[in-house]
Amino acid sequence: MKKITRINELERPLLSKTKLRVAAYARVSTDSDEQLVSLKAQREHYETYIKSNSEWEFAGLYYDEGISGTKKEKRPELLRMIRDCENGKIDFIVTKSISRFARNTMDCLELVRSLMDIGVYIYFEKENLNTGDMESELMLSILSGFAEEESASISQNTSWSINKKFQNGSYIIGSPPYGYANVNGEMVIVPEEAEVIKRIFAECLSGKGGSIIAKGLNRDKIPARRGNHWSPGTVIEMLRNEKYKGDVLFQKTYTDSNFNRHINNGEKDQFYCKNHHEPIISREVFSKAQKLIAERAKNRNKSIAKNTYQNRYVLSGRIICGECGSKFRRKTNYSVGRSYVAWSCIGHIEDKNSCSMLFLRDGEIKATFATMMNKLAFSRKIILEPLYEAINKIDEECDLERIDAIDKRMEQLNEERNTLIGLMTKGFLEPALFNKERNVLDIEIKNLTAEKTNLVMSFTNGTSQSDEVKALLDYLSVEKFDGNYTDEAFETFVENIIVDSRDELIFKMKCGFSLKEKVVR
C-alpha cells in the first residue's frame, strides 16, 4: 500500500524555527585613517546589532573602502553581496543610509528592484525605510535623489584641485584618445594607431567626408579603440580633436549634480595648453582639415535650411534617447485609415544600425506624465511635504557650511599674501617671483569672493531646489490639480525626459528629482 506524507506539515515546524540570514553593508568614501576608523566602528556596530536579535543569523559584513559611491560597478564588495543574495545566502540587508548604499538614483532603484524580485529586502537605518514594507518606489526614488545631492556637494571639493591642475597644465589625461596611450602619466604615441589617424586626415584633405572615411575603415577591418565599428560621428570628432596636433583643451565637458556629462559651452572655465605632448598631425594639416569640415558643414546647412526643425511644441527638444543620446523629433505616422502624432529618435532615423530605439506616441508620453503627477499628488502630504521641510533645511545648512569654508580659506589666503609682502619688503623675494605668487593668490581670492556673493544672494532672491519643490507642492494641491495633462505643467516642472526604453520613461524634474514611470498605453 502506498504511503503519502504531506510535505508542508512536515516542513512547517522547521520553517518556523529558521532564522533570517541578515547581512550588513558599509562603505566609506576615502581610504584616510579617519574614514577607516569610521568603517571599523560600523563593522562592530552591525555585528553586535545583528547577533543581538534572536531571530536573525549573522550572514556576513560587506564593506568597500576608498571607493566612490556614485557607480555600483566601482564597488566590488557590493557586487559580491548581490551575488550572494542571488545564490540564496542572504535574506535581509541592513545598511546605514541610502547615501551609503548608492548615490546614483538609477543604480539604487535597480538594485532594490532586483533584490526584491528574489525576496531580499533592505533596511536603511537613517531613513527608517524597509523596502519590504513599501507600497511604491516613489519615496525611495526621491530620497535617492537627495543622496545624489550629497555626493555632488562632496565632489565640489575635489573639483578645486582638478581646476588648479588645469591651470598649470599638470592634469594627467587618464584616457587618451585613439592614437595615444598613458605611460607613467604622459601621453605617448601608439605607432599602429597613429598611422590610422594620419590616414583619416589624409583622406579628409583629399575631399572625403566622415561617412566615406568610416566606411573605408570598416571595409578594411581596421579595429577601433573599443572594438566597435567606425561611425561618421567618430571620424569627425577625431578630425576636430586638437590633441592630434599636440595641444590640449582642458574641461571640454563637465559633470552636473546628477552625474551627467555635458559639453562645456561656457558654463565652466576652460584652459588651453599648447605643445602638451608629441603631435601625430602637423598644425598645417590640422588647420586645413578644420577649414574643409567647416566649409562642408556650411554647405550642408544651406541645403537643409528649408527643412530646419523648430521647437514649436512643448515636448520639442526635451525628449532624449537613453540609448544614443539623440533628441526625439515630432512626426506624423500613418496607418490604415488613420494617422497619429509620434516622437522618434533622430539617431534612429538617421542610422537604424547605431540606435534601435523605436518611436513613442504623443498621447502615451503625456498620459505617462499625468500618471506620474497623480502619484506625486497622492503622496503629497505623507511624503512631499515632510521632504520639502527637510530639503529646505538641508539646502540652507549646506550653503552656510560652504560660506564658512570660503571664509576660512580666504583668511588663510590673506595670511599667505601678508607673508609674501613681508618677505618682499625684507628683500627675501625677487620681484618677479613675488608678483607671480601674489597673482595666483589674488585670482583665488577673487573667485571665492564671487562664489560667496552668489551664495549670500541666494538666501534673499535666489531660486533653490526647495523653491522648486514648493512650486510643485502648490500645483499638486486639490484646488489647482485636476489629474490631467497640461502643456503648462510639463513646461513648468520637467527639465527633460530620458527614454530608458519603449516601456519606461525617466522624468528629470526641475526640482532635482528623477522619477521612472512605466509607459501608459
Which tens digit of pLDDT belongs to each residue from 399-420?
Answer: 666 767 887 888 888 888 888 8
The listed range with the strongest mean pLDDT (236-245, 271-280, 308-317, 390-399) is 236-245
Separation CA 74–CA 65 (nearest Å): 11
**CA proximity to 24, closest of 85, 110, 108, 106:** 85
> Is residue 141 a contact partner of residue 131, using CB atoms and an 8 Å limit?
no
pLDDT tens profile 37-74: 666 777 788 888 888 888 999 898 898 875 544 555 56
Nearest Cα neighbor of 245 from 273, 207, 208, 267 is 273
Query: Which of 209-218, 245-254, 282-291, 321-330 is least confident?
Result: 245-254
> What SS3 class is residue 509?
strand
Residue 288 has pLDDT above 80, yes or no: yes
Distances (CA, A) of 480 to 240, 377, 487, 489, 499: 51, 11, 14, 11, 28
Work out the pLDDT band at 192, boundaries 50, 70, 90: very high
Q: What was the pLDDT predicted at 66? A: 56
Does 193 score more than 60 pLDDT?
yes
Q: So what's the pLDDT on residue 437? A: 84
**pLDDT-derived band of residue 320, with 50, 70 and 90 as boundaries?**
very high
Position 32 pLDDT exceeds 90: no
Q: Name the least confident of 205-214, 232-241, 261-270, 466-475.
A: 261-270
Distance between CA atoms of 414 and 419, rounded to whole angstroms? 9
- What pLDDT, on a 0 to 100 scale, did the predictor assign at position 304? 47
What's the mean pLDDT in 211-227? 85
Cell of 288: 586645413
Greater confidence (364 vs 269) lies with 364
Looking at residue 120, what is its pLDDT?
92
| pLDDT value of position 15 | 42
pLDDT the model gives residue 283: 86
* Residue 493, Ramachandran bin (φ over 0: left; ψ between -120 and 50: alpha; else beta): alpha
Paired strand residues for 271: 250
Q: Is it the case that residue 100 has pLDDT exceeding 70? A: yes
Tens of pLDDT along 335-393?
777 889 999 999 999 888 889 999 999 999 999 999 999 988 888 888 778 777 766 66
Give the homologous superfamily in CATH for domain 177-302: Putative Large Serine Recombinase; Chain B, Domain 2 (3.90.1750.20)
Which residue in the block uniquely carries the three cell numbers 532564522?
19
| Residue range 469-489: mean pLDDT, rounded | 84
CA distances to 361, 365, 497, 507 from 521, in Å? 9, 9, 17, 17
pLDDT of residue 167: 57
| Domain boundaries of the chain, sorted by first residue | 7-154, 177-302, 312-406+447-521
φ, ψ (nearest 5 deg) of residue 15: -65, -35
Closest CA to 146 of 498, 459, 511, 454: 511
Q: Which residues contact 242 (CB under 8 A, 6 or more apart)?
A: 248, 249, 286
Worst-scoring range by mean pLDDT, 26-30, 59-63, 201-205, 361-365?
26-30
- What is the percent of the chain with per-residue pLDDT over 90, rounded to a whole number? 18
Q: Can you list the pairs that 393-397 forms with residues at least 24 positions away whose Cβ atoms lie under 8 Å? A: 394/146, 394/149, 395/464, 395/465, 395/466, 396/459
Of residues 243 and 462, which shows the higher confidence score? 243
* pLDDT > 50? residue 13: no
- Cβ(61)–Cβ(78) under 8 Å? no
Range with the largest mean pLDDT of 171-185, 232-246, 428-442:
232-246
Domain 7-154 has CATH 3.40.50.1390: yes
Same CATH fold, 177-302 and 7-154? no
Is 108:98 a contact under the CB 8 Å cutoff?
A: yes
Per-residue pLDDT, averaged over 264-291, amounts to: 81
Q: Which three cell numbers stand for residue 516?
A: 521612472
b/e for 377-399, b at 16 or more Cβ within 10 A? bebbeebbeebbeebbebbeeeb
| Mean pLDDT of the region 264-289 | 81
List, in order, residues 6 or more apart from 515 with CB less than 8 Å away. 138, 141, 142, 372, 376, 506, 507, 509
Mean pLDDT of 509-515: 81
- This prediction has a pTM of 0.36
At 454 the pLDDT is 61
Q: In terms of DSSP bridges, do strands 121-124 and 129-130 run parallel, antiparallel, or are they unpaired?
A: antiparallel
pLDDT value at 8 more than 50: no
Arithmetic mean of pLDDT, 3-20: 50
pLDDT at 10: 34
For range 246-261, the mean pLDDT: 71
Q: Is the pLDDT of residue 305 over 50?
A: no
Give the model's pLDDT for residue 199.
93
Q: What is the mean pLDDT of the chain?
A: 77
